[in-house]
Amino acid sequence: MEKIAQRARLASNALQCATNDHKNSALRAIYDQLVKDRVAILAENEKDLIANKDTLSQAIFNRLSLEKKFDEMLLGVLDVIKLDDPTAKCSLARKLDENLELYRVSCPVGVLLIIFEARPEVVVQISCLAIKSGNAVILKGGKEAHNSNVALFGTIYKALSSLDTSATSVIPPTSVNLVSSREDISTLLKLDKYIDLVIPRGSKSLVQHVQESTRIPVLGHADGICSVYVDELADAKKALSIVVDSKINYPAACNAAEKLLIHKKVAPTLLPLLATALFNKNVTLFADPEAFKLIEKNNLLKPALSDSFETEYLDLSLAVKVVDSLTEAVQHINEFGSHHTDSIVTEDKDRAEQFMKQVDSAGVFWNASTRFADGFRYGFGAEIGVSTNKTHARGPVGLEGIYGNGQAVGWYGKGGDENGKVFNFKHEDIPLEKVTKKFN
């Protein structure tokens, strides 16, 4: 295991010098090889499907099957090719003095460890995103997809090995690695010397386990407890479409709403309408006493339980609460939510802005469904995961570089240089559109 991590680290060092053309030619080769290996890959996938036919739920079984998703997976590779190079982007340029310039430039993170569950196409998705962003990657998939993962990894490895030397010297085939057992992961989680970032994609228990077992930074979120707050100044029609869509568009997603908070002034008129719309879509409501009184009795109406407002249902259930004020809604979301995505429905700009400033979540929406919280919908291309971390970089991490001309710090202070000339910092910002320097 340590050897794999070490190899990935070496590959990551080489990748620092890969240009966008290098990276795109590697992605193109992966695309071509996937097209060639299609039949063989699907045959391996079939083995997984047969082996797991009796033990997995229909939903997980569908996620495991590659046949219908193969074309989409191929298109995904082409999409990644089209993305801008995320590295070598300059976000700060400053003239510290004549011939002494500071640039902050994005660069790859290094070695990523990505742990995921059922869906085997993730092997391709993540490998392509890693290469495009100049990162080496170690993948660990679910055991139910073992044959599919090995086949897809084999195809990627073959593609990378087929590149010409100028490309393999900066994108070695060892840029992508696959490990398969739980024990491998325990070992890898200790190798903070080689691995820079862990991204667990999967169940809450997987994410929590990873967070508790490593000193490597973990990108991700354990819970997705999103709320829609319907304000006293909400437009009823918008409230209906946003609440219903946030809950039912794809209830198993982390960005689906699990809670509806509604202001007491509009609850008597609006809540019955919302409840009816939700009941029509087969949603069970767990209502607090105030809300319970306002909703007509129905099989799908239940009193809220003690943990209803801290539960990630991931199904057609929704906790409902009447609040006295915008402030109460914000406090409730900050205390019992998961800092993922929360939305306010209101026609009042000031109230929307107060909500957006005070709610401490990765995404705060005004008059839009929580389901929009997604890399594809944001136009970010594919998405590697949603993070609720507050202190990681979103996108490649910047690096400061100084381009000088032999300057010593000692010149900038009493005494000056060897001729006694004292230098002073200029600290002039260089407009980014005027930066002609190329960083790759």
Cα(130)–Cα(137) distance, rounded to whole angstroms? 6
Nearest to 163 by CA among 152, 148, 176: 176
Span 244-283, contacts to a copy of itself by CB under 8 A: 244-246, 248-250
Nearest to 198 by CA among 220, 222, 223, 175: 220
Should residue 412 be labelled a site residue for a copy of itself when binding is judged by CB under 8 A? yes
Q: Return the SS3 of 97.
A: strand
Q: Which of 53, 68, 82, 215 binds a copy of itself (CB under 8 A)?
A: 215
Q: Which of 55, 299, 405, 436 binds a copy of itself (CB under 8 A)?
A: 405
Give me the residue label for tokens 């190798």. Answer: 191
| Residue number, 143 or 392, with CB nearest to a copy of itself | 392
| Residue number, 9 or 146, with CB nearest to a copy of itself | 9
Amino acid symbol at 235 = D
| Residue number, 100 or 118, with CB nearest to a copy of itself | 100
347-352, long-range: CB within 8 Å, 24+ apart, which pairs?
347/233, 347/234, 347/235, 348/231, 348/233, 351/231, 351/233, 351/326
Q: Which of 43, 59, 399, 422 binds a copy of itself (CB under 8 A)?
A: 399
Cα(367)–Cα(370) distance, rounded to whole angstroms? 9
Q: Which of 78, 305, 393, 422 binds a copy of itself (CB under 8 A)?
A: 393
Region of 24-32, 43-51, 182-190, 348-356 interacting with a copy of itself (CB under 8 A): 348-356
Q: Minimum CB separation from a copy of itself for residue 68, in Å?
A: 15
Q: Return the SS3 of 316.
A: coil
Span 365-384, contacts to a copy of itself by CB under 8 A: 365-369, 371-373, 377-379
Should residue 124 be labelled a site residue for a copy of itself when binding is judged by CB under 8 A? no
Should residue 242 be labelled a site residue for a copy of itself when binding is judged by CB under 8 A? yes
Q: How far is CA 390 from the centre of its chain?
A: 13
Q: Minimum CB separation from a copy of itself for residue 287, in Å?
A: 23
Q: Which of 332, 398, 430, 435 binds a copy of itself (CB under 8 A)?
A: 398
Cα(123)–Cα(118) distance, rounded to whole angstroms? 11
Should residue 224 be labelled a site residue for a copy of itself when binding is judged by CB under 8 A? no
Q: Minimum CB separation from a copy of itself for residue 47, in Å?
A: 32
Cα(276)–Cα(360) distance, rounded to whole angstroms? 31
First to last CA, the chain: 32
Q: Which of 46, 328, 360, 383 binds a copy of itself (CB under 8 A)?
A: 360
Should residue 109 be labelled a site residue for a copy of itself when binding is judged by CB under 8 A? yes
**φ, ψ for residue 287 (rounded to 5)?**
-100, 140
Span 286-345, contacts to a copy of itself by CB under 8 A: 330-331, 334, 345
- Check if the beta carbon of residue 340 is closer than 8 Å to that of residue 223: yes
Nearest to 19 by CA among 93, 73, 87, 114: 87
Q: Are strands 428-429 and 90-97 parallel, antiparallel or unpaired?
A: antiparallel
Give me the residue label for tokens 């240089």. Answer: 417
| Count, residues near a copy of itself per rule CB under 8 A | 81
Region of 21-29, 95-103, 153-161, 257-265 interacting with a copy of itself (CB under 8 A): 95-103
Should residue 233 be labelled a site residue for a copy of itself when binding is judged by CB under 8 A? no
Should residue 397 be labelled a site residue for a copy of itself when binding is judged by CB under 8 A? yes
